[in-house]
Structure 1
């Protein structure tokens, strides 16, 4: 975590993160932003790309998405809570080649636990529906975090099942929701040894009771898990 005072600090800041072993650079974009922030964002993204590091933008408003797209970030996490993404913004995300990790479980939790003024879960849900329909890759993620002071306490593990349910509610098919947690993250995060069931891939498997293609909540009925071929039976 770090705070920059201007674009002139971007190159040094990114170089220090790379030296620490960072594979990605995450940038928190808060709005309304000071006038110099766009230049700082642009410089951070340029410096990260110069080091071959993808950039991830924390965006929870349409204005933040605008700034992220102007800077050329690679990945958008969260979706706006102030209003749904417009057709134009959605088209720009698609044209820019970004993918989105909407964390609907966190967005739902923020509304339920913090209730920021003017925030609406429906805006987040509608944004995911629009992104998916446009063909933007939507990836399952929860932002699970129970640390003191977070906007919403989201549990690890269980929240992913809730995320899949919310993605289906937002318009993804059950197949697309399952892909959002398996093959799509493997593809877009460059994890070429996993994500699908094929010879030569990691044997990361989940056996469930029921058919999640008919009912996505079946993912909660876990019978067994294999991580790298090692079986684990739920207690």
Structure 2
């Protein structure tokens, strides 16, 4: 019994001296290959503390990451739950705290979502400076699918309202296009060339050839 225990201890001791160099070699190769995987274009000194640090850049993902240059700034905290990204050249800005809010902005647009996974969002507010359109959407499930929407331009040339999945109204005076849907009974569509009105199951009417011709079908 004593001899068997002694042989076992010798076996573990020998393997300990074998495994330790192998594991050390593997870790050294990983760091070596990582350094060759990316071209170093920075003159800033790199240090290894709790993570990788170079100048103003820190990378200890998933806990914290920061990149700061003359062109951009990026911050991640507890990735992927919080992020802040700003591009000074474009310029664009994005920040989110999942699933509390999501915010995007450019020189021409603003987009804010509250209590969101992007889709769905409990509240979605957006605006466009180019045509001065502001939009407020409650329970935004997918593009053009929501519980309540109020979208309008400051000059009144653009208006879009949706309510309870049953009322869809759209009016673009500049493009001369509009529609009104009271789902599923009434459907009305109009542009500068033609129009149709359908009341299910009673009739279908409309115009064509720049509204010069008319038709009516009674069911």
Tell me if both proteins adopt one fold, taking TM over 0.5 as the criterion: no
Larger proportion of helix = 1
Taking structure 2 as the reference length, the TM-score comes to 0.29
Work out which structure has the larger RCO, using CA pairs closer than 8 Å and 6 or more positions apart in sequence. Answer: 1
Larger proportion of strand = 2
Taking structure 1 as the reference length, the TM-score comes to 0.28
